[in-house]
Amino acid sequence: MGAFTFAAIGYIKSPYAEKFAVPRQPGLVPSARAQLVLDAPYRGEALRGIEAFSHLWLSFVFHQHLDRDWQPLVRPPRLGGNAKTGVFASRSTFRPNPLGLSVVKLLDVDAKTGVLTLGGVDLVDGTPIIDIKPYIPYADALPDATAGYAPQAPTALAVTWSDSALDTLKQLQQEHHQQFISEVLAQDPRPAYKKQQLDSRQYGVTLAGLNIRFKVESDRVLIETITSFTNPSA
């Protein structure tokens, strides 16, 4: 009594190879497509009727953090990375139980192969899923709820591409990822404390199998270079 073991029902295939640059909440990057590939027992009939729901809740495991301990106080990025708040007043990935919760858009269902195509995803490639539930607006949508330090979505920055980055994207025939990459970087993935100061550093991130180098100038993101990166899930 008091301990419960759950088995993964499937895994996420996502363009986010690493935690850096994953948006803070689902839905902030609408172009983020991912697939949930379910294990055999969870295909077919277990999915009957799911296509009638526009959105799903995914319960998942922060699998990259299983060996890291939690602390009672965390520093949410929304508080600038300095102020502390209780772990249960946050959605920090370092929690007593490394359990995540994400609402995603359901774009397509292939019940036979157990593949759900999802939009607005904020999950790293390889994330284990332990439950899927339909989103029920009459119970789940509380637009008047008050939410302490995170009352609104974070402000998105403008994103500019250098000519050479855009040329490379075309040469690699990856233009279909341009919108996704722009939406991710508009969220400013830098550590919160960097946003308080002048920061001329160039950052790198891997998205959709592309290695992207960018910097942030006041309220604008400049994408400087793109190179191809071999990533099986791209």
- What residues between 7 and 66 interact with a copy of itself by CB under 8 A? 7-9, 25-28, 41-42, 44-50, 52-55, 57, 59, 61, 66
Task: Kindly state the helix (H) or strand (E) to which residue 164 belongs, with its residue range.
Answer: helix 163-171
91 binds a copy of itself (CB under 8 A): yes
Q: Of the ranges 2-10, 185-193, 209-217, 219-227, which one interacts with a copy of itself (CB under 8 A)?
A: 2-10
Amino acid sitting at position 71 = Q
80 binds a copy of itself (CB under 8 A): no
Tell which one of 40, 69, 112, 142 touches a copy of itself (CB under 8 A): 142
Stretch that binds a copy of itself, among 96-104, 176-184, 211-219, 220-228 (CB under 8 A): 96-104
Per-residue interface string for the shown chain with a copy of itself, residues 194-233, x marking contact by CB under 8 A: ----------------------------------------
SS3 state at 125: coil
DSSP 153: P
Tell me, what DSSP letter sits at residue 71?
Answer: -
Q: How far is the CB of 77 from a copy of itself (least distance, A)?
A: 13
Q: How far apart are CA 19 and CA 102, in angstroms?
A: 15
How many residues sit close enough to a copy of itself to count as binding (CB under 8 A)? 71
Specify whether the CB–CB gap between 165 and 225 falls below 8 A.
Answer: yes
- How near is the Cβ of 156 to a copy of itself at its closest, in Å? 12
* Residue 97 near a copy of itself by CB under 8 A: yes
Q: Judged by CB under 8 A, which stretch of 95-103, 155-163, 176-184, 207-215 contacts a copy of itself? A: 95-103
Contact 130, 5 (CB under 8 A): no
Contacts of residue 201, defined as CB under 8 A and 6 or more positions apart, other chains included, come to 194, 215
CB-count exposure of residue 225 (10 Å: 0-12, 13-18, 19+): middle
In order of 44, 55, 136, 195, 232, the CA distances from 133 in angstroms are 16, 9, 9, 36, 29
Q: Determine which residue in the list 68, 89, 176, 217 makes contact with a copy of itself, applying CB under 8 A.
A: 89
Is there binding between residue 181 and a copy of itself (CB under 8 A)? no
